[in-house]
């Protein structure tokens, strides 16, 4: 492990990852830690005065932080893979690998295919509009005549599915259910335990 670290071209964060890294690291602490201060100064809501209201407000802040953080995390992970796939890092890791190395030539081999990294906004735009496809239920494909495109004996209309390029906004929030239910579980455990405030 240390021999691999010593072969890395740089120990500093690459410039292309600086903005995603900073935003990803700050968004959750800023939202969750500033919530008690805002509640105390703006609405005079405190953990001791209104424990349930305070707890619900922190739960909402943690949920908002999660939904803001997930797209940033997707961009950051793609950026990290893009940096590792660049020539200096591939050669450094290839030179430090053992004889049964997992790197194939001048290309970084990954378990799953990786998406393209185009910066913070560009990567999000690519995910939403260009990568993959998503099913979109068709509405009104029959036209003004009212005749369904697919029907059985003119009575039962069969819904058609068309596919549109891009993952849509859903592609930016993949896996949100698991993380959000984790927040719900922690909050519920805190409330049932009598603390009135889950540890987020």
Tens-place pLDDT, residues 2-43: 666 677 777 788 889 999 999 999 998 898 888 888 888 888
Average pLDDT, the chain: 78
Q: Three-class SS of residue 157? A: strand
For residues 165 and 129, the answer to whether their CB atoms sit within 8 Å is yes
pTM: 0.71
pLDDT-derived band at 121 (thresholds 50, 70, 90) equals very high
Structure tokens at 57: 């407000």
- Following DSSP, what letter does each residue of 98-135 receive, concatenated? -TT-S-BTTB---SS------HHHHHHHHHHHTSSEEE
Cα–Cα distance list, 38 to 45, 84, 154, 198 (Å): 9, 41, 61, 18
The label of the residue with tokens 């519920």 reads: 188
- Whether 147 shows a pLDDT value over 60: the answer reads no
């Amino acid at each position: 492990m240390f021999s691999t670290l010593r072969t890395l071209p740089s120990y500093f964060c690459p410039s292309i990852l600086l903005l995603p890294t900073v935003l990803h690291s700050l968004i959750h602490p800023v939202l969750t830690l500033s919530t008690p201060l805002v509640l105390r100064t703006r609405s005079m809501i405190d953990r001791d005065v209104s424990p349930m209201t305070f707890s619900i407000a922190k739960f909402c802040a943690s949920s908002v932080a999660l939904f803001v953080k997930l797209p940033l995390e997707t961009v950051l992970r793609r950026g990290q893979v893009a940096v590792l796939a660049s020539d200096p890092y591939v050669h450094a890791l290839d030179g430090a690998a053992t004889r049964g190395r997992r790197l194939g030539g001048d290309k970084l081999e990954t378990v799953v295919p990786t998406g393209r990294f185009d910066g913070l906004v560009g990567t999000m735009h690519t995910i939403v509009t260009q990568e993959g496809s998503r099913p979109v239920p068709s509405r009104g494909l029959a036209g003004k005549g009212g005749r369904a495109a697919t029907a059985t004996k003119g009575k039962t209309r069969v819904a058609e599915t068309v596919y549109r390029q891009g993952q849509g906004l859903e592609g930016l929030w993949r896996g949100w259910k698991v993380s959000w239910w984790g927040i719900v579980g922690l909050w519920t455990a805190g409330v049932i335990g009598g603390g009135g405030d889950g540890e987020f």
